[in-house]
Structure 1
Amino acid sequence: MERFESPRQKKINSVLQKEIASLLLESIRSENISNLMISVTKVKVSPDLSSAKVYVSIFPNNNYLDHLRNLNSSRMRHDLSQRMKKQLSKIPQLSFYIDDSLDYIENIEKELKAGSNPFRKSTK
């Protein structure tokens, strides 16, 4: 069941998403990584603002576990707190998750194109 988000939660979700994406971009550029794309697809802050789930999409996703471990380090929260100290008095505890919704959609499309559409009427 989806809980109602307050206007403050929505605002904080949006600001966190923007700032985390910016930090990730700076990190990728500073390490001269040219073959990696990370997108912050969604941020969900808890009602008490103590924690936030950050969903990211990583392409190519062949070694996404290594990238996920790096994201879940305390360094990201520290960098975010330095950047947002005037906007938020306390930065929520960040937990990063892989957003695999694009892979899921792609698999459904492949199945539909392959002919295993459960909604298609059989021609027997």
Structure 2
Amino acid sequence: MESKRQQKFARIIQQDLGDIFLREGNSWLPGVMITVTSVRVTSDLGIARVYLSFLNAKSPQEAIDQVKSKSGEIRYKLGNKIKDQAKSVPTLEFFIDDSVEYRQHIDKLFDEINKGKAGNKGADNGDA
């Protein structure tokens, strides 16, 4: 469980990275919108695990690879933003947030189950 300090620091990083991706993201990935969905910070505040989602990306894996290649630049820009709030800038680790796709997959499965039940109710009514 994260401490309040970790949670606060993660929120600051999430907001500032969101601003960075809003301003700079189009030059790195033209036509792709990058969203910082969550940030998890280690207890020593040395590593920030950043989860990103990509809208209009042909390949999320290529998009995350592009972001990872810019991680030094992103960390530098983040450092300029948080320099008054943190002693050091954490190492950034970027990951694809696939929770939206997972949620859509689960919703699709439930829809299929519900359609199957609706079809069975019609069959049950014919038997009675």
- TM-score normalised to structure 1 length: 0.82
Q: Distance in 2 between matches of 1:75 and 1:67?
A: 16
**Residue of structure 2 equivalent to 1:39:** 35
* Percent of paired sites with the same residue: 29
Of 12, 22, 25, 1:25 maps to 22
Q: How many residues align?
A: 119
| CA RMSD of superposed structures (Å) | 2.4
Equivalent residue, structure 1, for 2:113: 115
Provide the TM-score with structure 2 as the length reference: 0.80
> For 1:45-84, what aligned pairs fall within 5 Å after superposition?
45-72=41-68, 73-84=71-82
Distance of 2:30 and 2:65 partners within structure 1: 20
Q: Which amino acid aligns with 2:17?
A: I
Query: What does the per-residue CA deviation read over 1:14-68, in whole Å, with 9 as the maximum and x for residues that have no partner?
Result: 0000000000000035x39663221111000000111010001111242222321
Unaligned runs of 5+ in 2: none
Identify if the C-alpha distance between structure 1 residues 97 and 36 changes in structure 2 by more than 3 Å, giving closer, same or farther. same
SS at structure 2 position matched to 1:35: coil
Q: Secondary structure at the match of 1:48?
A: coil
